[in-house]
Amino acid sequence: MFLKVENLKKSYKTADVTTTVLKGVGMNLDKGEIGVILGPSGSGKSTLLNIIGGIDRCDCGTVLVDNIEITKLNDIELTDYRRKNIGFIFQFYNLIPNLTVGENIEVVSNISSSPLNIDEVLKAVGMLDKKYRFPKELSGGEQQRVSIARAVVKNPKLLLCDEPTGALDFSTSRDILKLLQKINKDFGSTILMITHNNAISAMANRVYRVRSGEILESSVNNTIIPAERIEW
Ligand SMILES: Nc1ncnc2c1ncn2[C@@H]1O[C@H](COP(=O)(O)OP(=O)(O)OP(=O)(O)O)[C@@H](O)[C@H]1O
Ligand SMILES: [Mg+2]
């Protein structure tokens, strides 16, 4: 198993209230697979993804990524793990507004140990001709494609996507899903994606349904549907 999560628990304390967000979550993903996490708002999906990506910490349980037990790392080691292994794609792109498309990607490529070629990645997401534009000169779908390029350029072992199509219309969403499927195939990246959209599970090898901080149901999908055939 490339990703192995076991008995993961997490609570948040605010003022005098403690909210238990993850109540012993377990999940697995093999190398090169696509995993989907489905579940209602507030069920703990982003918390789970952030812990796997090393931007949040759990209270107990283990997360193994490519044989590294990240739940045992100190802060410096965790930052190093994140930088070397993880690509993040968010719902609202998070591009730097005063940098061009090319520069937004260069920022990440510069701090990576084995980055891919920037133009090659821009070409893969269909944005090479807009390399010198600024984010505000792009549509939402184009901005998301740039944010995918930014996550992919460092050639991460694990690509974590927090509702990457949440802010997009149907046809743009489908283009983004096609692109993620292509990146999974071309670069061999393992992908774990959060979505509210049940239909997207058709393109995943493994599907995890989360409810109130617990895995309600997990399934393995043996017939992967190409993203261009997904309808909703
Ligand atoms: N930093 C925090 N401090 C306190 N509570 C938090 C914090 N982050 C998240 N929570 C709470 O934890 C619960 C789960 O949040 P999380 O963001 O993981 O949900 P989610 O499944 O990603 O929801 P959504 O689909 O709306 O993005 C929510 O009730 C939220 O209010
Ligand atoms: Mg969320």
pLDDT (tens digit per residue) in 164-208:
999 888 988 998 999 999 999 988 999 999 999 999 999 999 999
| Strand ranges, E, within 46-157 | 60-65, 68-69, 86-89
Between the CA of 27 and the centroid of ligand 2 the distance, in Å, is: 18
> Would the pTM count as exceeding 0.75?
yes
Q: What is the CATH number of domain 3-91+156-214+221-229?
A: 3.40.50.300
Token pair, residue 112, equals: 């990576």
Domain ranges of the chain: 3-91+156-214+221-229
pLDDT tens for residues 158-167? 999 999 999 8
Percentage above 90 pLDDT, the chain: 87
Which atom of ligand 1 has the smallest separation from the CA of 213? Answer: 14
Does the CB atom of residue 171 touch ligand 1 within 6 A?
Answer: no
CA–chain centroid gap for 24, Å, is 21
Does the CB atom of residue 114 touch ligand 1 within 6 A?
Answer: no
Q: Give the number of the ligand closest to the Cα of residue 22.
A: 1
| 96 Cβ contact partners less than 8 Å away, ≥ 6 residues apart | 103, 104, 107, 135
Q: Are the CB atoms for 21 and 44 separated by under 8 Å? A: yes
Between the CA of 193 and the centroid of ligand 2 the distance, in Å, is: 11
Q: Are the CB atoms for 122 and 131 separated by under 8 Å? A: yes
Between the CA of 65 and the centroid of ligand 1 the distance, in Å, is: 23
